[in-house]
Amino acid sequence: MGGSAGTLPSLMARLFGTDGVRGVFGRDLTTEIARDLGRAAVRVLREGEAAPTFVIGRDTRASGVALEGALVDGIVQAGGDVALAGVVPTPAVAFLTAAHGATSGVVISASHNPPEDNGIKFFGWRGFKLPDRLEDEIEAEIARGDADGPAGRLLDEPVDIASYLDHVASCVEAPLDGMRVVVDCANGAASRFTPPLFERLGAQVVAIHADPDGSNINVGCGALHPEVVAEAVVRNGADAGVAHDGDADRALFADAEGNVIDGDQVLAACSVAMKERGALDGDVVVTTVMSNIGFHRAMEEHGIRVISAAVGDRYVLEQMLEQGVALGGEQSGHLIFRDDATTGDGLLTAVRFLSLAAARGVSVAELAAVMRRFPQVLVNVEVAHKERLEEAYEIWDAVREHEAELDGSGRVLVRASGTEPIVRVMVEAESEELARGHADAMAGAIASALA
């Protein structure tokens, strides 16, 4: 059966974004596109005569079932074999792909996006996300729409994720005995996994937003709304809270007082702990340009060098692999423990951070106190010509002027959105009032220059 050439030209110039193919189901991402992606991936990733094998997992969105069926059809029609993992966290698919020697892992998820969205992202045989080069080849293959060869198979046995959960549990630094933890599962892929995992490690668990119905993933809960788990921690008299996003590749936290602990603070605490036991290769950590200035100051105080990558966990991982770095992450809660995972893993992050507190006999608030978080103000400026940002010298002159006024006690970051006609301004300063004043002034300069 031949592929449907012509699907790609109706889309944007590049089908793949920074984290796979993603958009509104039925409009930006259809079953036809999923089928074409499956066919093309088989042709691009096939090596030799053996049928390539794909492990497929999905989150709890209602549209995931239809996309899974179409993706399986495309892979099998092109001669690939498929093993279904069902609803599982994204990092589980990455782990199982490598552990079972599959050619590729595929996740059907739009991560933290709203329920009407969905996405498809591929992992290679080692469990790393596919590089841009292979994504480009898949796109080109869709456009060609060559005929398929002998059909592949949908394998009878579902994938058993017990080995993934065993692996995450083995990374614990101390039992969580007696620790009372609220877990916000975002009505997503973590719902059946994180609560029992924590109970297995000895914690008393209060699970919230762990009843997915296909349409409530990420809605008013999870890592996008960490204040929800923070309130639940106080209400339940818990020691800590964990908030996942829909596909559970990130984790944010709350302390017993109801304060949110972000990814920068978790990364700082884990970096210092790993350095102290000689596990932080080269005493280097990777983060993104969005990390808080307080993170940089804390790392400097502890003799840890920081490498800044572009926003996106794939770019953090690229720097980690290029520089041989053991730990990296984002403010949003994506952390990559390179010795234990090939991608951001919310379950692993939660186990590592909570068990670090247990091992040291301290609260998560005491761990997070390794850095002081500077107030951060983010303003989105709608513009007509975001592509002119790089050459808009008046904007960069304004950035230098505002940073000079902050005099080392803050910073200004300006970047264009990758998907919207927006330029983002982020300002950090000693106070929120000061940060807001500089951010609003920069927003005015950008609106004027790029109108």
Active-site residue set: 111
Task: Using only the alpha carbons of the chain, give its radius of gyration.
Answer: 22
φ, ψ of residue 304 to 5 degrees: the values are -110, 125
Integer angstrom CA distances of residue 167 from 313, 339, 403: 21, 12, 45
Which residue type does 154 have? L
Which residue type does 419 have? T
Integer angstrom CA distances of residue 382 from 91, 389, 402: 34, 12, 21
Residues sharing a CB contact under 8 Å with residue 23, sequence separation 6 or more, in sequence order: 29, 117, 118, 119
Bridge-based pairing of strands 180-184 and 376-382 is unpaired
- Residue 348 DSSP one-character state: H
The token duo for 304 is 């840890």
Measured from the Cβ of residue 220, the count of other Cβ atoms closer than 10 Å reads 11
Produce one character per residue of 418-427: b if its CB has 16 or more CB atoms within 10 Å, e if not.
eeeeebbbbb
